[in-house]
Chain A
Amino acid sequence: MVANTDNGASPDIQCRSLTKAFPGNVEVLRPLDLEIAGGETTALVGPSGCGKSTLLRLIAGLETPSAGEVLIGGVSPAEMLRDAGLAVAFQDPSLLPWRSVRGNIELALKLARRPADPRAVEDLIRLVGLEGFADTRPGALSGGMRQRAAIARSMVTRPRLLLLDEPFGAVDELTRRQLADDLPPLWEKRQTTTLLVTHSIGEAVLLSDRVLVLTPRPAEIIADIRIELERPRAPAVTGSTEFRRLVEAVSEALAEGVRATKPPLAAQ
C-alpha cells in the first residue's frame, strides 16, 4: 500500500552526464549516465572511497553536481526533498542522542510533516528487532542496533525513494540475515524504489534486482548485472548455483575494475 501517489508511486532515477569533483580537484564521478527503473532494488557495489556515498548523496539532493543532472520521477531531487518523498539511511546512523529509539523514529514523521503513527513506529521497531529498546537512547546501543534504528527511521515515512548507505555495516550476521528476509518484501509491497550501497557482494545479490559495480575513484560503472532470482528469496537461495554464479560475476567485475585502474606492481 502506498501512502501518496501524486508523483508516481515508484519513481525512476535518471542520471545524465552526472559529474562531481570536490575542491582540490578530487574527481569523484566522471560523467555518469544511469537509469534505474521505478520500484526496483538496485545495489551499488564498489571499493571503498570510490564514490558510492557521493553518488547516493547526489541523488538525495544533499550534494550539487559539478555538471549533469539527476531526475527522480522526472523532477529534481530538490523538489523530491520538498515533499519528503525520499529518505536516507546514512552510513553513520545519525541518531539524535537525546531522543530514544522511538523518539528518533517519530522525529522522521514530524520532519516529514506526517501525522503521528504509533502503530507504524512500533511495527518497524519490531521489524528491525529492537523491541525492548524503544525507550533506550542511542548512547546505550551497540553500533549495529543504532544502524537498525536508522533503517527503521528511514522507512517510517513510507518514502517513494529509499537510499541506504551501507545500512548493515555494523549489524551482526544473524540479524543481517533476518533483515535480508524481512525488508525486501516490505519494499516490494510499498513499491519503493530502493538504492542500496554496500560492499558486501553477497548482500548485494541477495537483496537486489540489479547490481551496479563501480570502479575505484573516479567511479564508473564497469558492470551492470541483473539478478533474476525469484522473490521472495528463501535463505536457502544463497546455496544455489545461480546465486554463486552471480556472486562470482560481481566479484570478477570488481577485481577487473581495480586491475584496470591500478598500475601493475612491476611498474611501480
Chain B
Amino acid sequence: MIALADPLPERVRRGASGIVGTIVILLAWELAARALAGAYILAAPSDVVVHILQNSDLIWRALRETLGNATLGYVLGNLAAIGLAGAALAWPRAEPVVAGLALLVFCLPLVATGPILRVLYGPGPGPQITLAALAVYYTTFVPLLVGLRAAPASWFELLRSYGRGRLAELVHIRARASLPYLFAGLQIAAPAAFLGAMVGEFTGAERGLGLLAIRAIRALDIAGIWALASISAAVSILIYTAVGWLSRAVLRDPPPMILAPPALPRTGHAQGLAATVMRTAFVLAMALLLWWGAMTTFDLNPFFAKRPDDVWVALFTATDARETRETLAGALGETVVFLLPGFAGGLALGAGLAILLTLAPALTPSATLIAVALRSVPILTTAPLIVLLLGRGAAGTITLVAVMVFFPTFVACLHGLRQAPGQILDVFSTYAAGPFARLWHVQVPVMLPAFFAAARMSVPASVLAVTVVEWLATGRGIGSLMALSASLSDYDMLWSSVVIVSVLSALGYAGIGWVERRVLTVFASEQVAR
C-alpha cells in the first residue's frame, strides 16, 4: 500500500500564497494606476470594478455569448481532433497526410479566416464557433496521437499472446494510456477556444466580449479595456484550472510530459529528402482538392469564395498580379521584422528562465504557479493593453509576440527539466557533480523535446499574435493588409494572404521539426528512436 501523503497542508499553503500574491499584485496595480493617472494607460482595479458593476448587464450578456460560442467550438474542435487521431491510428499510412492537412489548417491566419468565414456564414455565431474549433483541434490532436502510442511494445505483445488484435489494443491499452495526453490537450484547449471565439468576435460579430473590446479600444475607454482584459484573463484561468481539476479527478495520477511528437511521423516509411518532398506535395495537392471541393460542393459565390485557381490567377497571371505580389511581399517583410525577434526572444527567455530557476530551485514553485496561471490567459485578449502600455511601434508588437511564445515555452521547459530521472541525478550526486554538470548532461537533454514541441506550437501562435496586433493597433504588416482587404472586399488579396501565411507557417513548423530531429539525434537519441 502506498502511504498517501496528506495533500491538504500543501494545498492550503499554495492557496494562501496565491491569495497573498493576488492581493499584492492588486495593490501594486492600484498604486501604479494612481501614480499614472491622466496618462490614459492604466486603469486602477477600483475603476475596473466600478466599470464592471456599472456595465454588469452588458458584460454578463457578452460573456455568456462568448462562452457559449467558445464551448461549442471547444466541443466540435476536440471531437474533430479525436476523429483525426483515430483516423491516423487506424490507417497509419494516411497519418502523414492527416497530420499535414491538420497542420495546414491550424496555420490558417485566424485574422483573415474570420472575415472570410463571416461572408461565408453570414450573420450569426458561425465564424466565432468555427474559429474556436480551429484554435483548439490541433493542440488536442498532436498529444492525443502521441498518447495513443505511448505504451511499451510489451503491453501490445501481451495482448497478442492471447490472440487479440487491434480492437483489444484500443480498448485495453490505447484508450486508457492516451487519457493523460488527451486531458493535457483538453486543458490547453480550454482557454484557446475562448481566445478563438474572441478573435471571431473581433471580426464583425454583433455580440460578445470581443465586440465590446473592439468598441472600448475605438473609444479609448481605458477602464473598459482593462475590465474586459481582466475578465477574459480570469475566465481563462478559471476554465484552465477547472479542466485541470477534472483531469486530476479522473486520472488520479498526474498527467505525463507531452513528449516531442515528430512533425511528420517516421513510422517505417521511406525516409530522406525525396520522400519528404513527395509527401509535402501530396499534402498540398490534397489541400487544394479539399478546398476546391468544398467551395464547389456548397456552390459558394466565387466573388468572395475564391478557388485555388482564382488565387493562382491573382498572384501570377492577372494584369495586376505583380502589384499584388509586391504588396504581399512588402507587408510580409514588415511583419517578419517584428515576428522573428519576438519569436526568438520568447523562446530564449522561456527556456533561459526555466534553466535559471532549476539552478535556484527555491524559487521554482512560485514561479511555476504564476507561469501556469498566466499560460492559461489568452495573451491576445490583453493585446489592447500591451499596445496601450508600449505604444504602437516595434516594442509593443515584439513584446506581444514574445509574451505569446514565452509562457508556453517556459512552462514546457520547466516541466521538461523536471522529467530528469531521479536515479540518473543520483548517479551524478555520487560523483559530487555540480549543478552545471547535471544541467548539461541530464536536464537540458531531457528538456529539449518539450522545448521543441513548444517552439513548433508557437509558430502559428506567434503569427496569430502579430497579425492581431497589426490589425487592431499598428496598421502595418500582413495583419493590417488582411484587415484592409476584408474591409475593401478585396477577396483576391485576402485569400492570397491566407494561402501565403498558412504555407509559410506550416513550413516554419516543419523547419523547426527538422532542426528538432537533428538536435535530438545528438542529445536525446532515445526520444527520436521511438
Q: Judge whether A90 and B157 touch: CB under 8 Å.
A: yes
Bitwise, A170-203 to B at CB < 8 A (1) or not (0) is 0000000000000000000000000000000000
Majority-rule SS of A interface residues? loop
Q: Contacts A96-B173, A140-B1 given; indicate if A111 touches B162 (C-beta within 8 A).
A: yes
Write out the residue numbers on chain B whose beta carbons fall within 8 Å of the beta carbon of A136: 1-2
Q: Is A119 positioned at the interface, with any CB of B under 8 Å from its CB?
A: no
Q: Judge whether B155 and A86 touch: CB under 8 Å.
A: no
Write out the residue numbers on chain A whose beta carbons fall within 8 Å of the beta carbon of B158: 88, 90, 94, 111
Write out the residue numbers on chain A whose beta carbons fall within 8 Å of the beta carbon of B157: 57, 62, 88, 90, 94
Interface size on A, residues (CB 8 A): 26
Bitwise, A124-149 to B at CB < 8 A (1) or not (0) is 00000000010010011000000000
Instruction: Name the residue on B nearest A79 (C-beta).
Output: B163
Write out the residue numbers on chain A whose beta carbons fall within 8 Å of the beta carbon of B271: none
Q: Contacts A92-B152, A94-B155 given; indicate if A62 touches B176 (C-beta within 8 A).
A: no
Q: Min CB distance, A204 to chain B, in Å?
A: 23
Q: Is B161 positioned at the interface, with any CB of A under 8 Å from its CB?
A: yes
Write out the residue numbers on chain A whose beta carbons fall within 8 Å of the beta carbon of B155: 94, 96
Q: Judge whether A90 and B168 touch: CB under 8 Å.
A: no
Q: Is B166 positioned at the interface, with any CB of A under 8 Å from its CB?
A: no
Name A111-126 residues within 8 Å CB distance of B.
111-112
B163 CB contact (under 8 Å) in A83, A92, A98, A107: A83
Q: Is A208 positioned at the interface, with any CB of B under 8 Å from its CB?
A: no
Q: Is A58 positioned at the interface, with any CB of B under 8 Å from its CB?
A: no
Write out the residue numbers on chain A whose beta carbons fall within 8 Å of the beta carbon of B152: 92, 94
Q: Contacts A94-B154, A140-B2 given; indicate if A81 touches B176 (C-beta within 8 A).
A: no
Instruction: Name the residue on B nearest A133 (C-beta).
Output: B1
Q: In the complex, A107 Cα to B173 Cα: how many Å?
A: 11
Q: In the complex, A60 Cα to B163 Cα: how many Å?
A: 10
Q: Min CB distance, B310 to chain A, in Å?
A: 49
Q: Judge whether B162 and A157 touch: CB under 8 Å.
A: yes
Q: Contacts A81-B162, A94-B154, A140-B2 given; indicate if A107 touches B172 (C-beta within 8 A).
A: yes
Q: Min CB distance, A135 to chain B, in Å?
A: 9
Q: Judge whether B160 and A81 touch: CB under 8 Å.
A: yes
Q: Is B159 positioned at the interface, with any CB of A under 8 Å from its CB?
A: yes
A87 CB contact (under 8 Å) in B2, B161, B253: B161
Q: In the complex, A87 Cα to B159 Cα: how many Å?
A: 10
Q: Min CB distance, A90 to chain B, in Å?
A: 5
Write out the residue numbers on chain B whose beta carbons fall within 8 Å of the beta carbon of A9: none
Q: In the complex, A75 Cα to B1 Cα: how many Å?
A: 44
Interface size on B, residues (CB 8 A): 18
Q: Min CB distance, B180 to chain A, in Å?
A: 10
Q: Judge whether A96 and B172 touch: CB under 8 Å.
A: yes
Q: Is A15 positioned at the interface, with any CB of B under 8 Å from its CB?
A: no
Q: Min CB distance, B182 to chain A, in Å?
A: 14
Q: In the complex, A88 Cα to B158 Cα: how many Å?
A: 7
Q: In the complex, A97 Cα to B1 Cα: how many Å?
A: 15
Write out the residue numbers on chain B whose beta carbons fall within 8 Å of the beta carbon of A157: 162
Q: Min CB distance, B444 to chain A, in Å?
A: 27
Q: Min CB distance, A79 to chain B, in Å?
A: 9
Q: Min CB distance, B507 to chain A, in Å?
A: 33
Write out the residue numbers on chain B whose beta carbons fall within 8 Å of the beta carbon of A98: 176, 253
Q: Is B14 positioned at the interface, with any CB of A under 8 Å from its CB?
A: no
A84 CB contact (under 8 Å) in B2, B163, B176: B163
Bitwise, A15-57 to B at CB < 8 A (1) or not (0) is 0000000000000000000000000000000000000000001
Q: Min CB distance, B402 to chain A, in Å?
A: 39
Write out the residue numbers on chain B whose beta carbons fall within 8 Å of the beta carbon of A140: 1-2
Q: In the complex, A171 Cα to B176 Cα: how many Å?
A: 29
B164 CB contact (under 8 Å) in A57, A87, A90, A111: A111
Q: Judge whether A82 and B163 touch: CB under 8 Å.
A: yes
Q: Contacts A96-B173, A111-B168, A140-B2 given; indicate if A84 touches B162 (C-beta within 8 A).
A: yes
Q: Judge whether A111 and B2 touch: CB under 8 Å.
A: no
Bitwise, B2-27 to A at CB < 8 A (1) or not (0) is 10000000000000000000000000
Bitwise, B429-461 to A at CB < 8 A (1) or not (0) is 000000000000000000000000000000000
Q: Contacts A96-B172, A96-B176, A136-B1 given; indicate if A60 touches B161 (C-beta within 8 A).
A: yes
Name B152-188 residues within 8 Å CB distance of A.
152, 154-155, 157-164, 168, 172-173, 176
A90 CB contact (under 8 Å) in B1, B154, B162, B253: B154
Q: Is A214 positioned at the interface, with any CB of B under 8 Å from its CB?
A: no
Name A61-86 residues within 8 Å CB distance of B.
61-62, 81-84, 86
Write out the residue numbers on chain A whose beta carbons fall within 8 Å of the beta carbon of B173: 96
Q: Judge whether B172 and A92 touch: CB under 8 Å.
A: no
